Structure 1
Amino acid sequence: MSAPAGALLCGVDEAGRGPLCGPVVAAAVILDPQRPIAGLGDSKKLSAKTRERLALLIREQALAWAVAEATVEEIDRLNILHATMLAMRRAVDALALRPDEVLVDGNRCPQLSVPVRAIVKGDALEAAISAASILAKTSRDAAMLALDVCHPQYGLAAHKGYPTAAHLAALRRHGVADFYRRSFAPVRELLANPPLWVDEEGR
Structure 2
Amino acid sequence: MLESASMRRLCSSRFERTARHKGWQRIAGLDEAGRGSLFGPVFAAAVILNPRRRIVGLDDSKKLPSERREVLAQRIREHALAWCVAQVDASRIDAWNIYQASRQAMADAVAQLSVPPDFLLIDAMHLDLLVEQKPLIKGDARSVSIAAASILAKVARDEVMRQFDPIYPAYGLASNKGYATRAHLAALRSYGPSPLHRFSFAPVRNAVCWAAAATQEALPLPSHGDAKVAIGGLDSPPCD
Picking from 19, 35, 45, the partner of 1:3 is 19
Instruction: Please list, as runs of the form range in 1=range in 2, the aligned pairs for 1:2-151 lying within 5 A after superposition.
Output: 2-5=18-21, 7-106=25-124, 108-151=125-168
SS in 1 for 2:179: coil
CA drift at 1:175:
1.6
SS in 1 for 2:193: coil
SS in 2 for 1:69: strand
**Distance in 2 (alpha carbons) for counterparts of 1:105 and 1:136:** 13
SS in 1 for 2:31: strand
**Percent identical:** 50
CA drift at 1:82:
0.3
Q: How many residues align?
A: 193
**Distance in 1 (alpha carbons) for counterparts of 2:154 and 2:182:** 22
Q: Deviations over 1:58-107 (max 9, x none)?
A: 0000000000011111100000000000000000001001111000012x
Picking from 177, 180, 187, the partner of 1:160 is 177
Q: Deviations over 1:13-59 (max 9, x none)?
A: 00001010110000000000110100000100000000000000000
Picking from 189, 200, 207, the partner of 1:183 is 200
CA drift at 1:113:
2.2
Structure 1 residue ranges without an equivalent (≥5): 197-203
**Distance in 2 (alpha carbons) for counterparts of 1:86 and 1:113:** 14
Structure 2 residue ranges without an equivalent (≥5): 1-14, 212-240
Q: Deviations over 1:132-190 (max 9, x none)?
A: 00000001101100000211111111110001111000111122111100000011112
TM-score, reference length from structure 2: 0.77
**Distance in 1 (alpha carbons) for counterparts of 2:96 and 2:86:** 16
**Distance in 2 (alpha carbons) for counterparts of 1:123 and 1:166:** 29
TM-score, reference length from structure 1: 0.91
**Distance in 1 (alpha carbons) for counterparts of 2:210 and 2:136:** 43
**Distance in 1 (alpha carbons) for counterparts of 2:20 and 2:170:** 52
CA contact (8 A) 2:191 2:209 kept: no
Aligned CA distance change for structure 1 residues 35 and 195 (closer, same or farther; 3 Å): closer
